[in-house]
Amino acid sequence: MSEAEEFELRRLLATEIGRRLPHASDDPAQARSVLHALRGSAAMAGESELALVLNQLGGRLRAGEHGATQTVREVLSQAAVRLSKGQPAFATHWPAPPFGLQPLSRAHRVEYLEAMRERIASLDTLLAAPRLEPSALDDVYRLVHSLKSAASAEGDNITTWYCHGLEEHILNSRGNTERERQLLVEAARHRAVLAALLDDPRRALLTLARLARSAPESSPPESSKRAPRLQPEPSAGSLQVPEQALDALLDRLQRMEQVHDDLNRAADLAAQFGGRSRQQQELLNEALRMIGPPRPWGAPEAALRLVEQVARGLNTSAGWAARGVQAMRLSSERIRTETASTRSDLTQLRRTSLRWLLGRLESAALELAEQQGKQVRVQLKGGDLPIDRRLAERLLDPTLQLVRNAITHAFPERGRGQLWLEASRVGGWLRLSVEDDGRGFDVEGLQALVPDTARVDAASAALTPYVSTRQYADAFGGRGVGLPMAEAVLAKLGGTLHLMSRAPRGARALIELPAESGLIDTVWLTHDDQCFALPVMYARRVVRNSPRIDAVSLARCLGLAPSKKPLGSAIELDIAGLTPVYLAVSRVLPVETVNIHPVPPRIARLGPYSGAVLRRGGQLGLVLHGPVVALRAQVVASGAASSAPPSARGSKT
């Protein structure tokens, strides 16, 4: 946008403020109506700070704070004077707080504070790396965006404002290596400010304002020197266990399962030894039979006694081996039973219900709708389903982003709508959906922003980083990073995100992932000597590969060399919203429950992999991203069909 265009937009905004300012009376309801009308106009004019301050003032009016209507008139009057001259609405610049931005009198929930401090702890872990490369700035940006989303859903406009400004600061540093490195150095100070805003927002704002008047970049705020963590008091009889400890125990259980396999192998060896011993015993008995009774001219009596002694010893050894086999079998089964019982007990330690997650999403949706002047009705379904507590906590950020996206993009300003939040279980998998009856996808607008419009649909375009149909970015959205970040988080959890249009209007976001955090049932597909894990949810059936089955080689989908062995099996993939497709593989191995881990970034870029697992033999196995593999198989199949002669194309049923 040129300077002339910015100047004109500001003057138009000043005119609109002047027209509505007389209606900002002492009546809180009328003042709130004025704020809702002006917030969208301020955001469209590029005055995101003014839009956020107006939104925060609306919250203060809802809370019935004394003097809030007077502050509304003062903020609007001062902003109108500056905007009429073509200047920004506030004389201050981030990180100096704008006039009128004050914390609400209501206290934040303990759960929210703890969740925010966990995100800040993740930032601490990132900044504690021995050497920070400029690429680490992407991870910082993602964490800041996560903090902003949570703060916005809670109605914490102070933290939302600071995170929004920090996002802008990071984006402005892109492409300048020196500024990126400097920003990584400053990240620790920004972390301290975020912690101070949670601890004592009023004091933190005063400190930021004082530092802005003196030397804003010279030293960290005083409030950053103390950022105590508020710990909720544990309930009676409860025990807080670190997640790392539970993960370590689960990995130890997996190693115990390896011991189980080793015992089985030892039992097999002992059985073989026992069998061979019996064979030797039979041979010796046959030799004794042939020699017959002792004779003066026959075999020496001492030798015969020695042979008899060996036979008795072998018989005893065979008995020992048989008892050892039985003992090892019993020990192996005992380990298997204890491992399963311990795994079940550990899983129960961190169980909760989906009501915990859906309730927070409902509160966030209503809060966001209220902030944006929209009336949205929320319906919940599936709250009684059990879920791993850690998984529920990790799902909060991506699902919150989906709710935020629906409220912000689906419904028009001051519009009405309905939002459905539903959860269900299919076998060992969890399905979460966020549906709305809003405007749906702007197909043409999204495709126009992606270079290759012929091959990218609206859903794929919406998941492309930095793609957004909004002409302006504010504290609620417009940067095009929320949905891609949500998809990346779900991929680390071994899940997938599908975006679909609803008929006749609206959109649906569907999440599918393992119901137990880290635990997943997989079927192993082999390509020559390589093994890949496919979540059982995506496997419909296994059949013998034959010319009658139009199967696509797994190797072609993964970009691997053709198999050196015959492809003897095929597995049918059944993905929601896609036509079933067959994958041809060397073999299909039995189902196994594995502990899934995030896939390393380098490996993730090489193929459609959603996670990594450690197999019982110690080898690393990759988990296939079912929907992406199915899409690749369909592309390969359609390409093969289009390249075939016309007579061949229509011959297949």
623-635 burial, b if ≥16 CB within 10 A, otherwise e? Answer: bbbbbbbbbbbbe
- As a whole number of angstroms, the distance between CA 514 and CA 495 comes to 7
Pair of tokens at residue 485: 């970040």
Higher pLDDT, 457 or 37: 37
pLDDT exceeds 50 at position 44: yes
Render pLDDT for 457-470 as a digit per residue (tens, 0 to 9): 555 556 666 656 56
DSSP of 209-221: HHHHHS-TTTS--
3-state secondary structure (DSSP) of residue 413: coil
- As a whole number of angstroms, the distance between CA 308 and CA 301 comes to 11
What is the C-alpha end-to-end distance of the chain, expressed in Å?
56
Render pLDDT for 317-373 as a digit per residue (tens, 0 to 9): 777 777 777 777 777 777 777 777 776 666 666 677 888 889 889 988 888 888 777
Q: For residue 398, how far is the Cα from the chain centroid?
A: 6
- Max mean pLDDT among 86-90, 122-126, 185-189, 258-262 falls in 86-90
| pLDDT band, very low/low/confident/very high, at 380 (cuts 50, 70, 90) | very high
Quote the pLDDT of residue 443: 61
Higher pLDDT, 474 or 538: 538
Render pLDDT for 199-244 as a digit per residue (tens, 0 to 9): 888 888 888 888 877 654 434 433 333 333 333 344 444 445 556 6
Render pLDDT for 492-521 as a digit per residue (tens, 0 to 9): 777 788 888 776 678 888 888 877 655 677
Point out which residues pair with 430 in neighbouring strands: 425, 513
- As a whole number of angstroms, the distance between CA 634 and CA 517 comes to 30
Higher pLDDT, 582 or 257: 582
The answer for residues whose C-beta is within 8 angstroms of residue 44's C-beta and 6 or more apart is 9, 471, 472
Q: What is the pTM (predicted TM-score) of this model?
A: 0.56
How many residues appear in the chain? 653
Quote the pLDDT of residue 446: 61
DSSP of 151-180: HHHHT-HHHHHHHHHHHHHHHHHTT-HHHH
The answer for residues whose C-beta is within 8 angstroms of residue 372's C-beta and 6 or more apart is 39, 55, 407, 408, 413, 476
Antiparallel, parallel or unpaired: β 496-501 and 507-514: antiparallel
> What is the number of H-type helices and E-type strands within the chain?
20, 16
